[in-house]
Structure 1
Amino acid sequence: MAKASSDALVIAVAKGANGPVILDSPLSPAALASLKETLTALGVTGAADQVVRLPGHPDTGATILVLAGVGPVKGTAVTEEALRRMAGATLRALAGLKHVVFAVPTTTVSHVAALAEGAALGSYQFASMHTSASGRKLPVSKVTIHSTLAKDPELAAALERSSIVAKAVNATRTLVNEPPSTLYPATFADAARELSKGLPVKLTVLDEKRLLKEGWGGIMGVGQGSSRPPRMVKVEYKSERAVANLAFVGKGITFDSGGISIKPGAGMVTMKCDMAGAAAVLNAVLAVAALGLPVNVTGWLCIAENMPSGTAIRPSDVLTMFGGKTVEVLNTDAEGRLVMADGLVAASAEFPDVIIDVATLTGAQVMALGHRTAGVMGDEGVTAALKAAADRAGELIWPMPLPEELRPSLDSPVADMANIGERMGGMMTAAVFLQEFIGKSKDGETIPWAHLDIAGPAFNESAPYGYTPKQGTGMSVRTLVAYVEDVVARSA
């Protein structure tokens, strides 16, 4: 590698069976030998997320040398996700510097793209409302990746994809991080318009008058307790070369107080994130449009604010959902499934090949799978494809069943069904409820469908890690984009 002037040169360190292992680097043999002798004394382990700064070396042309951990590796092979995470952790740690150079092993174009994606995700910062910038470090403004693949003809497209996907994830994070005083149904719709500018998409916003007139009983019922009325936003991308017609449905509760079934105070603290599913769906559709993938994709953003008031729905109220099915509301804090039901019926009416919905739907998801792994339920073919896409994208999802014995627990004596049922396995019970609103295809078969419950991984209340910041994570955007790409690849 030619010596390049920069603020920091990053080399990778793996966690070996017998201690840290420096991977390929531009250091001279003498400098490398000297560095290896000091790794243990410096506390360098090669563990994922470890970033250690050292004084720069004359070999590098950089002010500082950075040793970045990639975790355990098999031989010298580093996975794309390890590189993505290492780049993200490094960019977070080096905030305040201007130019960072990565000189780490990249044996494929996808390795370079993963580094670029991780760097873009790791440098994300929310434009906070602090009145003072004291102590705040600006993100790194320039990243250089040294690779023998610099002239590969496929590299430019791969880097462009990384940029588009990272932009979509970061836009999702920003929407989630906005306080509910500034992001509510009307302004969420405005944000969707702004984000879609310049892209080949059609945006349709249904306001409360149209929702009421057309019988969107779920979303109107949930939103009727708020002074800020609901919106349904439809985002359509169509390709003349489309090989598939897909529908994504996202939960967009801009704040969830629980309604009349009000949450405890501590349970409301993070409820600005209850619109993360709709934000992910919006930005996934926009990313697909920006990539120009040969598919038709429609996103349905089911946006409402769930508040208690004299006009709010009550336990025992019965709502008539879009499409005519009736639901007895036994708990107003099980509101997400009500707005999603309307969206699923609307999506079904257009006869897509597949429906995928994304929602921060249940606390039971967190109990079952923790804060970093989403649950996926539905038709086996769709859930398996989503799991494969998530694995490729670097997101964690896990398939869960839809036990048939859960459906009777949703029976109601006064309506077609109730909005809550069996408490144990509540993540699956909620999915069983949603399943009732999936329509038939033109040939009379039930439309293939999957439900992603991202309640835990959509919002990070703990310390940042890898390329994942505190607060909004952008969970599921990368999985949805990878899923669409896989659909295209399978049609070839």
Structure 2
Amino acid sequence: MADDAHAQTTLRLTDEEAGRIEADALVVAATKTDGTVALADGHGLPEEAATHLNEALGALGAEAGAEETVRLTGVPGVAAPLVVVVGMPKAGPATRVERLRRAAGVAARALAGRSSAVFALGQSGVDEASAVAEGAALGAYTFREHHGVGKVESAKAGLGEAVVTGVGADEAEDATASALAVIDAVRYARDLVNSPPNQLYPETFAGSVETRAAGLPVEVEVWDAERLEQEGCGGILGVGQGSGRPPRLVTLRYTPEGASRHLALVGKGITFDSGGLCIKPGAAMITMKMDMAGAAACAAGVLAIAQLGLPVQVTAYLCLAENMTGDLAQRPGDIVTMRGGRTVEIINTDAEGRLVMADGLALATEQQPDAIVDVATLTGACIIALGERTMGVMGNDDELRDTVTRLGNEVGDTAWSLPMPEEIRPTLDTPVADLKHTGERSAGAMVAATFLQEFVGKKGEGEDAADIPWTHIDIAGPAFNEKAPWGYHPKGGTGAAVRTLVALAREYSA
């Protein structure tokens, strides 16, 4: 394996003039207005360079499309030998910040194997420059840890360094550190999701988190199968009992001084999902190493929050199990006792995620936090409803649900709120247990969320008790990209919801 298998793009934010910086390439953006394609405003290039580039774009018939790049050499007034012009359409629902992020990602992918590039997409100020930095670093992401002798020499590394203009010297250091904390968290979540299931399973997932948290003000506690049984976590145990690799529950605690609010996170961590005895078709298993993306997002989110030093208490519960078909595998018709004592009749062993999450939500409730957010690749129904790029957001508190949806869209984790109609709950009734874990076939994403809500308790006691605000984020679609890379999203794990969790922590700490 090459020594640089883990190497990722480094960042430098600066207020230097883009055209004067020596690098392998300079990246600028083009937009289309009234049928004319030209450089986006704010590029900062000398007039002779801008004129040359605009004339070239016209002669080449550029359209400034979302994934379009044009390469030009010998541009006057530019120190870099290569100029890459990336399309940045003005149309569409994406904000300007997100358009900058995506354009930077497209350009970074086009510059794979290059040592350095300067990004001058017209960004100004910390927020826009940070978005460009995110897009460049995440677009350049590669996962080459398992490349063998047949590929290790031929596969290109990502872009080596991204130099982003538009940030003053006084702000550059803090802005770079803040951007890198979030970028590194997304990269870590992607690495976990991309890892093969023969190497990433509950025990090794827990070990990875312990290693990653070393040196940060985060306490990590791991419960093995014996402890899970002692603690009455029948959901996690039931799902994991068909595997030779026992389940784990990992708790991360970040408790900074001065924190006045407490946020709890719960992540689904099915390290491989065969469907259990209700086995999936073979083709449907190919991507099931990604069924732990919710736990990956929660782990990475907490570590980023701690690295940033945000003054908000965060506790995360990673519910880790492998859903297999071994001799002791859970059966339809089984009844399991969850954390807190509620009993659940098993209907379909391929609806396992909500079972492990129920234990995590019950544990989170016991801590009486100000809010609970769970993240899970929970239902194919959410993909049917919202497609492959949009998170579904549901919950018992309109304000929290709408805040999570808003923040997701602001940071680039496209999100949409879904309802939880009251008529769904009766479909979970069963005569043999407190409830069953599946309901009517239609509205599957809302059915799963309604089941989860049953394990979110109240804060306070007696007449003053009120439901703990809770939001569920279904990332079944955007957590894993099976198709061609786009924007700053590679093929494979995307790190969905990490940035949303960090943004929520920022808002809670404000």
Which interval holds the TM-score relative to the shorter structure? over 0.9
> Corresponding residue for 1:232?
249
- Structure 1 residue 144, shift from structure 2 partner: 1.5
Decide which of 348, 356, 366 is 1:349's aligned counterpart: 366
Decide which of 190, 194, 213 is 1:196's aligned counterpart: 213
> Corresponding residue for 2:459?
441
> Corresponding residue for 2:36?
19
> Corresponding residue for 2:301?
284
Decide which of 227, 235, 244 is 1:218's aligned counterpart: 235
> Corresponding residue for 2:496?
475
- 2: distance between equivalents of 1:337 and 1:470? 27
The answer on 1:80 being equivalent to 2:109 is no
Indicate conservation of the 8 Å contact 2:190/2:494, yes or no.
Answer: yes
- 2: distance between equivalents of 1:385 and 1:274? 25
- Structure 1 residue 25, shift from structure 2 partner: 3.3
Written as runs of structure 1 = structure 2, the 5 A alignment for 1:87-486 is 87-131=104-148, 132-147=151-166, 149-151=167-169, 153-378=170-395, 379-442=397-460, 443-486=464-507
3-state DSSP class of the match of 1:332? coil
Decide which of 56, 60, 67 is 2:74's aligned counterpart: 56
- Structure 1 residue 215, shift from structure 2 partner: 1.2
- 2: distance between equivalents of 1:212 and 1:22? 62
Indicate conservation of the 8 Å contact 1:218/1:321, yes or no.
Answer: yes
Which amino acid letter does the alignment assign opposite residue 297 of structure 2? A
Indicate conservation of the 8 Å contact 1:122/1:466, yes or no.
Answer: yes
Indicate conservation of the 8 Å contact 1:15/1:73, yes or no.
Answer: no
- Structure 1 residue 270, shift from structure 2 partner: 0.6
- 1: distance between equivalents of 2:338 and 2:489? 37
Indicate conservation of the 8 Å contact 1:113/1:158, yes or no.
Answer: yes
- 1: distance between equivalents of 2:121 and 2:338? 55
> Corresponding residue for 1:66?
84
Indicate conservation of the 8 Å contact 2:390/2:478, yes or no.
Answer: yes
Instruction: Map Cα deviations across residues 290-343 of structure 1 (whole Å, 9 max, x no partner).
Output: 111111000000000000121001000000111100000010001000000000
- 2: distance between equivalents of 1:275 and 1:417? 25
Question: Residues 437 and 404 from structure 1, CA distance in 2 versus in 1: closer, same or farther, beyond 3 angstroms?
Answer: same
The farther-off stretch of 344-353 and 12-21 is: 12-21
- Structure 1 residue 62, shift from structure 2 partner: 1.0
Instruction: Map Cα deviations across residues 107-127 of structure 1 (whole Å, 9 max, x no partner).
Output: 222111111111111121112
Aligned CA-pair RMSD: 1.6
Instruction: Map Cα deviations across residues 167-210 of structure 1 (whole Å, 9 max, x no partner).
Output: 00010000000010000000000011011111000000000111
Question: Residues 307 and 78 from structure 1, CA distance in 2 versus in 1: closer, same or farther, beyond 3 angstroms?
Answer: closer
Question: Residues 328 and 102 from structure 1, CA distance in 2 versus in 1: closer, same or farther, beyond 3 angstroms?
Answer: same
Which amino acid letter does the alignment assign opposite residue 224 of structure 1? Q
- Structure 1 residue 27, shift from structure 2 partner: 4.1
- 2: distance between equivalents of 1:262 and 1:78? 42
Indicate conservation of the 8 Å contact 2:71/2:83, yes or no.
Answer: yes
- Structure 1 residue 18, shift from structure 2 partner: 1.4
- TM-score of the pair, normalised by structure 1: 0.96
- 1: distance between equivalents of 2:434 and 2:106? 50
Instruction: Map Cα deviations across residues 123-152 of structure 1 (whole Å, 9 max, x no partner).
Output: 2111242322243111121222232x323x
The farther-off stretch of 236-245 and 18-27 is: 18-27
- 1: distance between equivalents of 2:182 and 2:44? 30
Runs of 4+ that moved beyond 3 A: 24-28
- Structure 1 residue 98, shift from structure 2 partner: 0.4
- 2: distance between equivalents of 1:384 and 1:289? 25
3-state DSSP class of the match of 2:67? coil
3-state DSSP class of the match of 1:189? helix
Decide which of 478, 482, 488 is 2:509's aligned counterpart: 488
Q: Which runs of 5+ in 1 are unaligned?
A: none
Indicate conservation of the 8 Å contact 1:225/1:312, yes or no.
Answer: yes
- 2: distance between equivalents of 1:73 and 1:30? 29
- 1: distance between equivalents of 2:441 and 2:360? 24
- Structure 1 residue 239, shift from structure 2 partner: 1.2
> Corresponding residue for 2:13?
none
Decide which of 37, 49, 54 is 1:36's aligned counterpart: 54
Indicate conservation of the 8 Å contact 1:321/1:341, yes or no.
Answer: yes
- 2: distance between equivalents of 1:462 and 1:335? 26
- Structure 1 residue 57, shift from structure 2 partner: 1.9
- 2: distance between equivalents of 1:272 and 1:340? 18
Question: Residues 78 and 317 from structure 1, CA distance in 2 versus in 1: closer, same or farther, beyond 3 angstroms?
Answer: closer
- Structure 1 residue 103, shift from structure 2 partner: 2.3
- Structure 1 residue 37, shift from structure 2 partner: 2.6
> Corresponding residue for 2:9?
none
Indicate conservation of the 8 Å contact 1:273/1:472, yes or no.
Answer: yes
- Structure 1 residue 236, shift from structure 2 partner: 0.3
Question: Residues 372 and 227 from structure 1, CA distance in 2 versus in 1: closer, same or farther, beyond 3 angstroms?
Answer: same
Which amino acid letter does the alignment assign opposite residue 63 of structure 2? T
3-state DSSP class of the match of 1:62? coil
Which amino acid letter does the alignment assign opposite residue 172 of structure 1? A
Indicate conservation of the 8 Å contact 2:113/2:160, yes or no.
Answer: no
- Structure 1 residue 26, shift from structure 2 partner: 4.5
- 2: distance between equivalents of 1:372 and 1:168? 20
Which amino acid letter does the alignment assign opposite residue 161 of structure 1? S
Which amino acid letter does the alignment assign opposite residue 474 of structure 1? G
- 1: distance between equivalents of 2:429 and 2:404? 30
- 1: distance between equivalents of 2:95 and 2:240? 48
- 1: distance between equivalents of 2:43 and 2:189? 35
Which amino acid letter does the alignment assign opposite residue 416 of structure 2? W
